[in-house]
């Protein structure tokens, strides 16, 4: 994973690199480092922990430099393993994973070279220095040809102080040409500035940057022309606006994020072409990871119920290595908040290669996924900083539900979904009601395990509630289909085990209550999130939250809100930082 940044030009590089790295911390924050070239030597600072630890490096002198913020793949998150890796005349930063590191390392060891880190990247620095004969780009081309895996690489050489060489395979990399110099980064917002031209490196492409220009090369070494990307500067500077954490602030923005996203489909410029494709859609595959995968599960229920089109929902990391049956008239929907998740991108590429129409649902306008897809629907959730997805999940649901309605009308199944229009207001009510879960917190703090139970759409919400709790509170938890518990997992319920039941379907409520009885009978403490007031008074329920009723199909967009709040309050009570949970990053750019 990780984020990389670089600059060569008229200004001092270090402050630019530090600024860029702060914006890239969503890609990893377990260690960081920068290297600048000053008078034919490298000034280097690396630290375990976040980019803040590098603040003293802002005084480094030097107009060429590279930086890195890390999410550890090979090697623990220590200073030694932090990038840039320096070897001989070379400094190198890397986003990705080198899969053939073992034989390459053996080759270096045979030459008598020794290593100071456990990383795959240090091996690449050794290879690069070995191939270097006064031409950084040529050496990087030879090095890249030896690598198996994914990489965005940016390299400096002490012998060519005003240059940065780049290589890219399966990890994103953009180049910016500004007034004062040339920039590189893992994504556009890290470097974008007024008047800057931004270019995306394609698969297996290379670039050579100097202070005035950027030259791009294909895999075979041919120089290629590139068109600048269309982009606009982000207006919103992320601030906590009085909230203690970004996660809580982002939850407060759920109603707005829903309202803004509701406008998206109707004002989509390619709506007529999209309707044409939807009209002929016979199969739908949804590919995504994590929370976005849960949106896919919710969407399956809505699309199948409303449009009667079969939907397969797949975890992208599985789909990409299967041989999925992609038939004529299959629409593949790739859902990704960041639009940079490596597995989702690979699954989307596979779908495209196999002839499917690719529809992206993403929150990031200039993301790799948005550039890849035939159609792109943006969730208007605004920037999400907290690692745990909240408002972007609600926005994904609203967009996918609107799509379900489009599909239903394309298939002649009549317009419905009027209840969706009132969602922003209902989400406000759900948010207000969610404050009640704060009182549940003491029951969860020392729990050995926590269960979230539901059926149908409530089960999808249960999965998401459980994921939220795991990732920020670090409590073991499972989201489970209520009817499945008795087939083994019930053995885990003991006295005091917290169970959260989600109940929004009057059709299925009594069935879910069977599972509630079963857990209660074995000593569980049962909490309830429901839109059905009559169930609040049941004797088994220790405490409950009442959310507005929008019918079972679309209910997760509201029922998830108290679950997000529960995860937040439990995490804070356990002393965790919900914005930056351990071991995680906002965007998972390696497989």
Q: Enumerate binding residues for ligand F6R (CB under 6 A).
A: 289-292, 336-338, 341, 344, 388-389, 467, 471, 587-588
Q: Which helix (H) or strand (E) holds 393?
A: helix 391-410
Quote the DSSP letter at residue 455.
S
Nearer to ligand F6R, 46 or 249 (CB): 249
Looking at the chain, the number of H-run helices and the number of E-run strands are 17, 24
In a 3-state reduction of DSSP, which class is residue 236? coil
Closest by CA position to 409, among listed 283, 552, 274, 269: 274
Contact in structure between 251 and 431 (CB atoms under 8 Å): yes
Instruction: Tell me the longest C-alpha to C-alpha distance in the chain.
Output: 79
Q: Which is nearer to ligand F6R, 177 or 468 (CB)?
A: 468
Q: Which is nearer to ligand F6R, 388 or 570 (CB)?
A: 388
- The answer to whether the CB of 287 falls within 8 A of the CB of 348 is yes
CA distances from 381 to 256, 384, 394, 554 (A): 8, 8, 9, 18
Q: Name the minimum Å distance from CB 183 to ligand F6R.
A: 24
Q: CA-to-CA distance for 453 and 455, rounded, in angstroms?
A: 7
Is the Cβ of residue 389 or residue 437 nearer to ligand F6R in the bound state? Answer: 389
Q: How do strand 174-177 and strand 197-200 relate by DSSP bridges?
A: antiparallel
Cβ proximity to ligand F6R, 375 vs 393, nearer residue: 393
CB of 341 to ligand F6R, least distance (A): 3
Q: Which is nearer to ligand F6R, 292 or 433 (CB)?
A: 292
- CA 140 → CA 8, 12, 109, 166, 290, distances in Å? 18, 25, 20, 8, 35
What's the min distance (Å) between Cβ of 557 and ligand F6R?
16
- Measured from the CB atom, the residue of 37 and 334 that comes closer to ligand F6R is 334
Taking the complex as a whole, the smallest distance from the CB of residue 387 to ligand F6R amounts, in Å, to: 6
For residue 552 the two structure tokens come to: 């079972």
Give the CA angle between residues 25, 30, 35 to the nearest 5°.
75
In the complex, least distance from residue 336 CB atom to ligand F6R, rounded to whole angstroms = 3
Task: For residue 580, give the nearest of 247, 249, 294 by alpha carbon.
Answer: 247
Tell me the residue ranges of DSSP E strands in 99-246: 149-157, 164-169, 174-177, 181-185, 197-200, 205-209, 214-217, 223-224
The DSSP letter of residue 170 is B
Question: Least Å distance between CB 379 and ligand F6R?
Answer: 10
Radius of gyration from C-alpha coordinates of the chain? 25
C-alpha closest to that of 581 among 572, 590, 284, 208: 572
Cβ burial of 500 (10 Å; 0-12, 13-18, 19+) is buried
Buried b (16+ CB within 10 A) or exposed e, 90-128: bbbbbbbbbeebeebbeebeeeebebebebbbbbbbbbb
What would the two tokens of residue 96 be? 């990705």
d(CA 166, CA 170): 13
Element containing residue 129 per DSSP (H, E): helix 120-131
In angstroms, give the least distance from the CB of 578 to ligand F6R: 10
Q: Give the DSSP letter string of 15-32.
A: HHHHHHHHHTGGG--SEE
Q: Which is nearer to ligand F6R, 460 or 467 (CB)?
A: 467
| Catalytic residue IDs | 2, 586
> CB-wise, 291 or 394, nearer to ligand F6R?
291
Q: How far is the CB of 385 from ligand F6R (least distance, A)?
A: 12
217 is written with which tokens?
């090369």
User: SS3 for 513?
Assistant: helix
Least gap, CB of 100 to ligand F6R (angstroms) = 26
In the bound state with ligand F6R, the residue whose beta carbon lies nearer, of 143 and 473, is 473
The minimum distance between CB 344 and ligand F6R, in angstroms, equals 5
Beta strands in 326-426 (DSSP E): 330-336, 357-362, 375-378
Tell me whether residue 390 or residue 497 sits nearer to ligand F6R (CB atom). Answer: 390
- Least separation in angstroms between residue 369's CB and ligand F6R is 8
Long-range (24+ apart) CB contacts under 8 A made by 271-280 are: 273/375, 274/359, 274/375, 274/406, 275/406, 275/410, 277/331, 277/357, 277/359, 277/374, 277/375, 278/331, 278/403, 278/406, 278/407, 278/410, 279/410, 279/411, 280/329
């Amino acid at each position: 994973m990780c984020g990389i940044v670089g600059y060569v030009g008229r200004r001092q590089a270090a402050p630019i690199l530090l600024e860029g790295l702060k914006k890239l911390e969503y890609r990893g924050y377990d260690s960081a480092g920068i290297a600048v070239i000053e008078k034919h030597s490298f000034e280097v600072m690396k630290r375990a922990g976040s980019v803040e630890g590098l603040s003293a490096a802002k005084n480094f002198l030097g107009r060429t430099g590279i930086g890195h913020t890390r999410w550890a793949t090979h090697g623990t998150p220590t200073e030694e393993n932090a990038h840039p890796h320096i070897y001989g005349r070379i400094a190198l930063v890397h986003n990705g994973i080198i899969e053939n590191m073992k034989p390459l390392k053996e080759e270096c060891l045979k030459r008598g070279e020794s290593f100071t880190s456990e990383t795959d990247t240090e091996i690449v620095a050794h290879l690069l220095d070995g191939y270097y004969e006064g031409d950084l780009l040529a050496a990087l081309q030879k090095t890249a040809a030896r690598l198996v895996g994914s990489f965005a690489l940016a390299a400096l050489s002490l012998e060519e102080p005003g240059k940065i060489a780049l290589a890219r395979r399966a990890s994103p990399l953009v180049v910016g040409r500004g007034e004062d110099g040339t920039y590189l980064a893992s994504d556009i917002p890290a470097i974008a500035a007024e008047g800057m031209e931004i270019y995306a490196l394609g698969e297996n492409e290379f670039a050579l940057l100097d202070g005035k220009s950027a030259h791009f090369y294909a895999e075979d070494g041919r120089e290629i022309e590139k068109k600048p990307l269309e982009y606009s500067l982000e207006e919103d500077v992320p601030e906590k606006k009085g909230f203690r954490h970004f996660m809580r602030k982002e939850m407060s923005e759920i109603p707005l994020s829903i309202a803004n996203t509701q406008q998206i489909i109707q004002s989509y410029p390619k709506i007529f072409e999209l309707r044409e494709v939807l009209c002929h859609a016979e199969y739908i595959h949804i590919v995504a990871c994590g929370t976005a995968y849960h949106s896919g599960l919710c969407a399956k229920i809505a699309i199948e119920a409303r449009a009667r089109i079969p939907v397969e929902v797949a975890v992208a990391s599985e789909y990409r290595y299967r041989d999925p049956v992609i038939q004529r008239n299959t629409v593949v929907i790739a859902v990704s908040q960041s639009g940079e998740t490596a597995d989702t991108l690979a699954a989307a590429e596979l779908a495209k290669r196999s002839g499917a129409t690719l529809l992206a649902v993403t929150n990031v306008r200039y993301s790799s996924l948005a550039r890849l897809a035939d159609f792109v629907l943006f969730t208007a959730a605004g920037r999400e900083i907290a690692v745990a997805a909240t408002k972007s999940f609600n926005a994904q649901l609203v967009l996918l539900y609107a799509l379900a309605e489009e599909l239903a009308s394309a298939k002649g199944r009549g317009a419905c979904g009027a209840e969706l229009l009132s969602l922003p207001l209902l989400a406000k009510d759900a948010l207000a009601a969610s404050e009640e879960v704060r009182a549940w917190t003491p029951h969860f703090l020392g729990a050995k395990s926590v269960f979230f139970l539901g059926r149908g759409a409530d089960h999808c919400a249960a999965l998401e509630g459980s994921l939220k709790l795991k990732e920020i509170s670090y409590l073991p938890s499972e989201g489970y289909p209520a009817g499945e518990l008795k087939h083994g997992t019930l053995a885990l319920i003991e006295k005091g085990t917290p169970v959260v039941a989600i109940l929004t379907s009057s059709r299925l409520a009594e069935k879910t209550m069977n599972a509630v009885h079963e857990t209660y009978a074995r000593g569980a403490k049962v909490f309830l999130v429901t839109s059905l007031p009559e169930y609040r008074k049941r004797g088994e329920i220790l405490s409950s939250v009442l959310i507005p009723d929008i019918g079972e199909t679309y209910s997760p967009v509201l029922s998830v809100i108290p679950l997000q709040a529960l995860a937040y309050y439990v995490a804070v009570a356990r002393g965790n930082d919900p914005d930056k949970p351990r071991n995680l990053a906002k965007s998972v750019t390696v497989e």
